[in-house]
Structure 1
């Protein structure tokens, strides 16, 4: 597993950065952390959990919608390829706790891999099962390298 140091070059990440949301008030979730950690080579959308100033700005700039991951209120950008949520899929995902565990890559806050795995285990869609296997494979590879 290799951190994607060029993460800010990805077109969707560039669009997210262009929104100029306050980075202390949002967390990049969904499959994007897998891209940032080099587990995935591409993503088709970005899910963002936001609060405070970041949520307010998203509401000012975005199009109100129902989120595809949470069925709760969301703000859409670029045809829904970026979805900004105020709440995540269940009350157990508390923004402050998630942010404490965030991985900062390219000066952007990405949900930690254990938090992404917990989210994907909760949904268990076919793509989540594939992502969970990839997280497990890459975590095992890193652990084996540390031991050798």
Structure 2
């Protein structure tokens, strides 16, 4: 499937967030690289204008990690955070290091791998192996 045709990507793009003020994190980069065909939602880290737009659309609430705030949109398909997980780069670092895939900013897979390994949750194990295999093949 064309990345821009994915329903969650279409919802994200409909927000018209400035691409220099956000990055798709979580498992979204695996979707962008074709390593996963589906994701349960898109996690987005936003700053500046992108955060202003997101926080004008719904109430910002505490993030599940207890680290910062989040806005939930499109019945939970899009979760926009003002910062990412504890122990990761700050929002500016994540956004500034984004790689554009079809014009959409995504966290580099090396960054995704680092936080999935640090979290070491059972649900991340398959993603860790997929990323390692992909990075090793590139």
> Same fold per TM (> 0.5)?
yes
- In structure 2, C-alpha distance between the alignment counterparts of 1:92 and 1:41, rounded to whole Å: 26
Instruction: Give 1:21's match in structure 2, choosing from 4, 14, 17.
Output: 17
1:67 and 1:83 in contact (8 A); partners too: no
> TM-score normalized by structure 2?
0.90
5+ long unaligned stretches in structure 2: none
Name the stretch that deviates more: 117-126 or 20-29: 117-126
5+ long unaligned stretches in structure 1: 143-148
Runs (4 or more) in structure 1 with deviation over 6 Å come to: none
Name the stretch that deviates more: 91-100 or 25-34: 91-100
* Deviation per residue, 1:82-101 (Å, 9 max, x gap): 11000111254123322333
Find the structure with the greater CA-based Rg: 1
Matched, 1:128 2:124: yes
Shift, 1:137, TM fit = 1.2
* Deviation per residue, 1:21-73 (Å, 9 max, x gap): 111100000000001011111111000000001001100012433334x3332
Q: Which residue of 1 aligns with 2:63?
A: 67
Instruction: Say how many residue pairs are matched.
Output: 137
> TM-score normalized by structure 1?
0.85
1:104 and 1:110 in contact (8 A); partners too: yes
Instruction: Report the aligned-residue RMSD.
Output: 1.6
